[in-house]
Amino acid sequence: VSEGLYLGMDFGTSGARYALIDKEGNIHAEGKREYPLHMSKETVDWVQSWKVTLFLLLEDVPVSLRPFVASISLDGTSATTLIVDSSTGEPLSRPFLYSESCPDALPLVKSIAPVNHTVCSGSSTLCKLVSWWNSDNSNKESAALLHQADWLLWLLHGNLGVSDYNNALKVGYDPEIDSYPPWLLSQPFSHVLPSVRAPGTSIGFIKEDIRTRFGFPENCLVCAGTTDSIAAFLAARATQPGKAVTSLGSTLAIKLLSINRIEDARFGVYSHRLDDKWLVGGASNTGGAVLRQIFTDEQLEKLSEHINPMEASPLDYYPLQSVGERFPVADPKMVPRLHPRPESDVEYLHGILESIARIEAKGYSLLKDLGATEAEQVFTAGGGAKNEKWTKIRERVLGLPVCRAPQTEAAYGAALLALRGAQ
Ligand code: ADP
């Protein structure tokens, strides 16, 4: 190696990964760490655990490659929130995890935010902030709010109070006007909100002590990050409007790059800004988890071999793990439909795969109806991406070219952000 390398890290739900790439996007090193369970007072000390993992990942980067790391960026789970002391960066309470809900804050949040705004959900960052503000007695004047990614990046650059407009969306930041809206700035807690940068913009040089401890170069930059699901989208390098990524994991999630911003709280549809475009998305409750209830992964592979993907299955199911669907149909009472079950398991699986593909197609057409750019090409991520028969079925049902995404790791997407910050 003689030229620059770019380091991305992903702090996901169960562990963290890193990817080190060059400017062509080739991977030079990658690795993974589970979060060690640091305990304090009988609860998991997540902040300590993330911090330890950050430095473990830096140690995992091969010593010989560290002098070439031109820039670093990272992503964290969306809406994972820390309230810290604005001068020391020390947490003033335990962190609020991404999935945690603070329904106590909803009445106030709903009274200040526009109807159906993204913050009007109990797990939004703003609800977490309001819940802390209303219950905690520690020094509110010196408090600062940071998202998980902001806090981990701060450990590297030392500039407290910086975030990015993807992480800041759920606290109420408006990426369209590039500012917090007036209804938020007029609140008594507005001084705790971080300043916001575009993901991938450089925040500053890596701190001297960390630089020398690990052997990173003198001008190594630390760049604004993003959320884990956006980093996973970035990994697919779908940079043109109309390019989309479907994640076929336990659930089905679709993301589409659009010229227009669309929002519809009924379907849980909202848009993240990506430069001058919008990343619109929706998530259905159908997906691989239902498959796993019926078939093992080995059975899925064997049975799929016998499916003729060119033939449409007449079976019409709505595979769900439990009652309720949000996207592309908003119906909290929707009942799972997996009957009649034919005698042949091949036909049964064909019917389920075809039905999930129909839900995916309906998802893309709903996004179009809501005003998004029409999908042109679909990349696939997640466990379902390896099923080539399913890919063929989906191509036929969607009427679009479908292929496996070459890269799906969020850490790779974060490395692309680091690359862009260094340019
Ligand atoms: P998670 O969302 O839990 O991270 P993964 O991306 O690891 O999920 O994907 C796991 C899912 O992929 C499982 O629910 C499983 O049913 C599904 N899956 C695994 N192998 C296949 C296959 N050959 N065809 C279709 N689906 C599969």
Bridge partner residues of 246 (DSSP): 254, 380
Q: Return all residues near 205 (Cβ < 8 A) that are at least 6 apart.
A: 157, 211, 218, 219, 220, 221, 222
What was the pLDDT predicted at 396?
98
Atom in ligand 1 nearest the alpha carbon of residue 251: 2
Give, for all 423 residues of the chain, the pLDDT tens digit. 668 999 999 999 889 999 999 999 999 999 999 999 877 777 889 999 999 999 999 999 999 999 999 999 999 999 999 999 999 999 999 999 998 999 999 999 999 999 989 899 999 999 999 999 998 677 899 999 999 999 999 999 999 999 999 999 999 999 999 999 999 999 999 999 999 999 999 999 999 999 999 999 999 999 999 999 999 999 999 999 999 999 999 999 999 999 999 998 889 898 999 999 999 999 999 999 999 999 999 999 999 999 999 999 999 999 999 999 999 999 999 999 999 999 999 999 999 999 999 999 999 999 999 999 999 999 999 999 999 999 999 999 999 999 999 999 999 999 999 999 999
Mutate to test the pocket of ligand 1, among 300, 391, 394 (most ligand atoms within 8 A of CB): 300
H or E, element range at 222? strand 221-223
7 touches ligand 1 (CB under 6 Å): no
Which amino acid is it at 151?
A: W
What was the pLDDT predicted at 4?
96
What was the pLDDT predicted at 123?
94
Is the sign of the CA dihedral 173, 176, 179, 180 positive or negative? negative
What was the pLDDT predicted at 158?
98
288 touches ligand 1 (CB under 6 Å): yes
The residue whose C-alpha atom lies closest to atom 7 belonging to ligand 1 is: 383
What was the pLDDT predicted at 2?
67
- Å from CA of 346 to ligand 1 middle: 18
Whether 5-229+411-421 shares its CATH topology with 238-405 is answered: yes
- The residue written with tokens 């080539």 in the block is 388
Is the sign of the CA dihedral 343, 349, 354, 359 positive or negative? positive
CATH topology of domain 238-405: Nucleotidyltransferase; domain 5 (3.30.420)
292 touches ligand 1 (CB under 6 Å): yes
What was the pLDDT predicted at 120?
92
> Among the CATH numbers 3.30.420.40, 1.10.10.60, 2.30.110.10, 3.40.1280.10, which is that of 5-229+411-421?
3.30.420.40
Phi and psi at 366, nearest 5°, equal -65, -45
* Residue 120 near residue 103, CB atoms below 8 Å: no
388 touches ligand 1 (CB under 6 Å): no
Number of alpha helices (DSSP H) and beta strands (DSSP E) in the chain: 12, 19
ω before 336 within 30° of 0 (cis)? no
What was the pLDDT predicted at 1?
66
Task: Kindly give the residue spans of alpha helices, DSSP state H, lying in 40-91.
Answer: 46-60
* Residue 400 near residue 375, CB atoms below 8 Å: yes
Question: HSE of 121 in the Cβ direction (CA atoms, 13 Å)?
Answer: 20
CA–CA distances in Å: residue 421 to residues 6, 44, 138, 154, 220: 9, 34, 37, 16, 11
Domain residue limits, the chain:
5-229+411-421, 238-405
386 touches ligand 1 (CB under 6 Å): yes
Atom in ligand 1 nearest the alpha carbon of residue 289: 14
CA–CA distances in Å: residue 391 to residues 44, 246, 356: 41, 11, 12
Q: For this complex, say whether ipTM is above 0.85.
A: yes
The residue whose C-alpha atom lies closest to atom 12 belonging to ligand 1 is: 383
Distance of CA 228 to the CA centre of its chain: 3
370 touches ligand 1 (CB under 6 Å): no
Task: Kindly give the residue spans of alpha helices, DSSP state H, lying in 158-274.
Answer: 182-185, 208-214, 228-235
